[in-house]
Amino acid sequence: MDRTQHWENVYQTQNSTDVSWYEPDPKQSLDLILQVAGESRGRVLDVGGGQSFLVDRLLGTGFEHVAVLDISQTAIESTKARLGERASQVEWIVADITQRDAIGEFDFWHDRAVFHFITYPDDRRHYVGLLKRSLPIGGHFIVGTFAKGGPEHCSGLPICQYDEATMQAELGPSFELVNCSQYKHVTPAGNSQLFFFGVYRKEK
Ligand SMILES: C[S@@+](CC[C@H](N)C(=O)[O-])C[C@H]1O[C@@H](n2cnc3c(N)ncnc32)[C@H](O)[C@@H]1O
């Protein structure tokens, strides 16, 4: 099964509140974005947003432009339906982030639980290349992945775990760490998952 089919199958067969990554309040992500956004509230992209409530919260927080990208059309359609009329305020992009060559310019690129699925080095290089081209100098990358010591699989797929050193190695010298932390996500089934969250500023 290819990536698109895998995620289509997930969103066509599982309830949004049962998947392990479900969180009713994406507070960790929103707090990190708002910390670096300050008063500026520019253009923000949620990569692999799926059915996350982050887009709802971003719309209520005064960003100039909010975009959500996901590989699954079904996930995007269900999030649009949830937002109702407010969906028209969002740019929706159905794409595999490892295949896209351009996406427009964003000040804040958020990714919770997507980068860790990109297990091929060439795909990660493609992702980081696009990230670099899409952020201006001073733009921010806010990323949450499984941490070292965290889960080794998710949704039946292998993942890569990260810490400060390994994430920096992926991003290279163009990105400077602003802050990072570990975070425990509790799944709907009650299991605890250790995440690494990092905030990076594009310097060059
Ligand atoms: C574990 S879920 C996390 C969803 C959301 N970020 C959240 O925190 O609730 C991973 C999401 O990434 C999407 N995804 C996986 N691989 C992708 C890719 N290569 N390009 C774009 N989206 C992808 C999936 O469809 C899914 O919605």
Which of 70, 111, 183 is the pocket-test mutation for ligand 1 (most atoms within 8 Å of CB)? Answer: 70
pLDDT value at residue 200: 98
Average pLDDT over all residues of the chain: 97
**How far is 121 from 203, CA to CA, in rounded Å?**
23
pLDDT value at residue 40: 84
Strand partners, 70: 94
146 lines ligand 1 (CB under 6 A): no
What DSSP string describes 77-146?
HHHHHHHGGGGGGEEEEE--TTT-S-----SEEEEESSGGG--SHHHHHHHHHHHHHHSPTT-EEEEEEE
21 lines ligand 1 (CB under 6 A): yes
Instruction: Give distance in angstroms: CA of 39 to centre of ligand 1.
Output: 28
Give, for all 204 residues of the chain, the pLDDT tens digit.
699 999 999 999 999 999 999 999 999 999 999 999 988 899 999 999 999 999 999 999 999 999 999 999 999 999 999 999 999 999 999 999 999 999 999 999 999 999 999 999 999 999 999 999 999 999 999 999 999 999 999 999 999 999 999 999 999 999 999 999 999 999 999 999 999 999 999 999
pLDDT value at residue 1: 67
Q: Per-residue pLDDT tens for 156-182?
A: 999 999 999 999 999 999 999 999 999
53 lines ligand 1 (CB under 6 A): no
Tokens (6 digits) for 180? 């990072």
Ligand 1 atom with the smallest distance to the CA of 97 is 20
pTM, 2 dp: 0.98
52 lines ligand 1 (CB under 6 A): yes
Instruction: Give distance in angstroms: CA of 165 to centre of ligand 1.
Output: 23
Domains and CATH numbers, the chain: 3-12+27-190 (3.40.50.150)
User: How much of the chain is in helix, strand and coil states, percent to nearest 5?
Assistant: 35, 30, 40
30 lines ligand 1 (CB under 6 A): no
49 lines ligand 1 (CB under 6 A): yes
